[in-house]
Amino acid sequence: MGVSERKKREFAQRESDILNCAIELFRTKHPSLVKMDDIAKQLEIGRGTIYLHFKSKDDLMARIQYEDYVRLRTRLEKSFDEPSAIEMSRKAIRAYIDHCLGDRHMYVVARQCGVNLNINNVSEDMRKLLTDERTNRLTLLEKIYKQAKQENLINSRGTYPNVAVAWGMIRGAVEVILEGHFQNEIKSEKAYLETIEHVLFYGLFSGNKGET
């Protein structure tokens, strides 16, 4: 291995170490309370070294959010293996829920990073990646919607009103679990997640009036 290749590998490894260290610190402290100095101290490197990889702390948080988005999209893409719109939707819902609840701390960290970052302090390249990834996720949801429309299952209220409402319902239902609402009333998380599917399908698929 040449010197150039070795330096590239070391640079990539250091960047990965910075990201992982930041995530671990964000798990125990809110991102707004963690400074670049804290990350540098933990890794025993100079703060300036971090800025060789990330323009700002906001850039670092944006990268964490972006990588979480990519993991989510990868899960959602597997829903297209299913033959029908309802099965595609069911698999996509479960993929999203598994993403959020499978590693709850990682999901919360990524969400907090997204909420607290100042997009104006994020590099242009990183902003483009975030925008493109959002477009990729919307494209996946549109495919499911169009498949449902072809099967005459969807209502006539339009693509984005339906997609937005469905996404909001699912995300809100996940937040109920994450924030501990109704924890005494919800006896079975599995049954609760099945209820999410039923309520969503009943509202979206006009031909699906019974139990799912």
31-90: per-residue pLDDT in tens? 999 999 999 999 999 999 999 999 999 999 999 999 999 999 999 998 888 888 888 888
The better pLDDT of the pair 104, 167 is held by 104
Predicted local distance difference test score (pLDDT) of residue 150: 87
Q: What is the mean pLDDT of residues 25-36?
A: 95
Residues 7 and 30 in one domain: yes
Tally of CB atoms within 10 A around 107: 18
State how far Cα 188 lies from the chain centre: 24
Predicted local distance difference test score (pLDDT) of residue 18: 97
DSSP category for residue 83 = S
Q: Does 137 map to a domain?
A: yes
Tally of CB atoms within 10 A around 75: 18
DSSP category for residue 181 = T
Return the SS3 of 205.
strand
The CATH number of whichever domain residue 26 belongs to comes to 1.10.10
Predicted local distance difference test score (pLDDT) of residue 108: 93
Domain that holds residue 70: 57-204
pLDDT classification of 159: cutoffs 50, 70, 90: low
Q: What is the mean pLDDT of residues 16-26?
A: 97
Total structural domains in the chain? 2
Q: Does 48 map to a domain?
A: yes
Which residue from 199, 68, 46, 196 is spatially nearest to 130, judged by alpha carbons?
68
Residues 28 and 70 in one domain: no
Distances (CA, A) of 20 to 24, 38, 58, 116: 6, 13, 15, 18
Return the SS3 of 29.
coil
The span from the CA of 96 to the CA of 175, in Å, is 12
Tell me the percentage of the chain whose pLDDT exceeds 70.
92
Predicted local distance difference test score (pLDDT) of residue 205: 52
Contact by Cβ (8 Å): 50, 72 = no
DSSP category for residue 154 = B
pLDDT classification of 2: cutoffs 50, 70, 90: confident
**Which residues touch 182 (CB under 8 Å, ≥6 apart)?**
176
Predicted local distance difference test score (pLDDT) of residue 138: 85
Which residue from 67, 71, 82, 88 is spatially nearest to 166, judged by alpha carbons?
88
Residues 198 and 122 in one domain: yes
